Amino acid sequence: MFKVLQDWLHRYFSDEQAVVLALLLIVGFAAILTLGGMLAPVLTGLVLAFLMQGLVNAFERMRLPHVAAVWLVFTLFMSMLALFMLVLMPLLWQQLSTLFNELPRMATEWQSVFMLLPQRYPNLISDAQIVQLIGSLRGEAGKFGQWALSFSLSSLPMLVSIMIYLVLVPILVFFFLKDREVISQWFRGYLPRERALITRVAEEMNTQIANYIRGKVIEIIICGVVTYIAFVYMGLNYAALLALLVGLSVVVPYIGAVVVTVPVALIGLFQWGFADQFIYLMVVYGIIQALDGNVLVPLLFSEAVNLHPVAIICAVLLFGGMWGFWGVFFAIPLATLFKAVIDAWPRSEPVVMP
């Protein structure tokens, strides 16, 4: 057993660069696991800086000085943030408040609908099953009410956190864009001189993560805007709120689209019943999801490393369980990092005894 372990260590860890890369990965993952909550504003600023770095590079290729390009991109970012806070957020809050006020009436109407099911389908469902279903739904509604109450009671600390984000994140974004090379040189100063393996993996992952973040944000915006236009044209209630959910659902591959289908279908059913408008709604929603998966994603992520759907779902579950939202958001880049490290890892050929 000891000989087998020794041969395995010699084959995969005989290269000093491999050992250093393994230590860096372990330290990085441990830091995010233990300090991820405290460093959330830094991670947010880093993601936004990655998102805008391509625009800074584009302005620099137009012979604009680096500082001027950074200030121009930062001004655009702050303008978009102000537009989101002053226009989109009030609309979303208004629709969310209306939905909360409508929930009791929705529950009453759905209860009357459920009570008619035993009369229409006596061979499939009984009165006892309907009573049990309504009791379960009331229990879940009670839990949701308790959560909403606790959420409202804890709104003050959340408002403080939002204010901290609104102050810290723009500052971090500005300095990440302005001093990108300075920060990179400082970090490289602590790495060993012989770091060809680390450089190769880092360059590949820098490109992959930057392309993924930009592509994912573009996908969120396109899906959200197209869904909002379609829902408003059809006259669906809470169009902005549902469009936001549809846009954010693309963050979680495969699973997100299935989960968001439930509120879209429920609100459509409550508004129109099983009428033609509901059928049209589900057809339009299905077309949007099909175009997203078969047209938009291949265009935006054509240069991404191909991963099997099983690998993507496992990565979402694993990293989402460890790091929450950021783990879900970076599930594919992290899975790509794992694949890139495995592909680039140096291996010593096993010694064959004569």
Judged by average pLDDT, the poorest of 63-67, 125-129, 230-234 is: 125-129
What average pLDDT does range 288-294 have in this prediction? 84
Q: Looking at the predicted structure, is the pLDDT value of residue 252 above 70?
A: yes
Given a cut of 60, is residue 122 above it in pLDDT?
yes
What does the pLDDT read at residue 353? 43
Residue 255's domain comprises 213-346
- 114 inside domain: no
Query: 297 in a domain, yes or no?
Result: yes
- Residue 348's φ and ψ, nearest 5 degrees, are -95, 135
pLDDT at 352 > cutoff 50:
no
What distances in angstroms separate CA 100 from CA 34, 143, 148, 304, one per listed residue? 36, 14, 10, 41
Inform me whether the pLDDT recorded for 275 exceeds 60: yes
The predicted-structure confidence for 56-83, as pLDDT tens digits, reads as follows 888 888 888 888 999 999 999 899 888 8
In a domain, 317, yes or no: yes
Residues 140-159, mean pLDDT to the nearest whole number: 56
pLDDT given for residue 229 in this prediction: 92
pLDDT at 249 over 70: yes
DSSP state of 88: I
In a domain, 220, yes or no: yes
pLDDT tier at 15 (50, 70, 90 boundaries)?
A: low
Spatial separation of the C-alpha atoms in residues 246 and 220, rounded to whole Å:
8
Structural domain contains residue 188 = no
Q: What is the mean pLDDT of residues 244-253?
A: 83
Mean pLDDT of 240-253: 84
Rounded CA separation 246/228 (Å): 9
Which range of 111-120, 131-140, 167-176, 192-201 scores highest in mean pLDDT? It is: 167-176
- More confident: 164 or 11: 164
- Asked whether residue 88 is assigned to any structural domain, the reply reads no
Q: What does 5-54 look like in DSSP terms, one character per residue?
A: HHHHHHHHH-SHHHHHHHHHHHHHHHHHHHHTTTTHHHHHHHHHHHHHHH
| Per-residue confidence (pLDDT) for residue 185, from 0 to 100 | 81
**Which range scores top for mean pLDDT: 93-97, 108-112, 244-248?**
244-248
Residue 301, pLDDT score: 67
Q: Return the pLDDT at 3.
A: 60
Give the mean model confidence (pLDDT) for residues 83-97.
Answer: 81
Indicate if the pLDDT at residue 235 is higher than 70: yes
Mean pLDDT calculated for residue range 33-41: 73
User: What is the mean predicted confidence (pLDDT) over 86-91?
Assistant: 82
321 vs 279, higher pLDDT: 279
pTM flag (> 0.85): no
Asked whether residue 12 is assigned to any structural domain, the reply reads no
- Report how many domains make up the chain: 1
Residues 6+ apart with CB under 8 A from 213: 47, 50, 51
Report yes or no on 168 lying in a domain: no
pLDDT average, residue stretch 318-330: 73
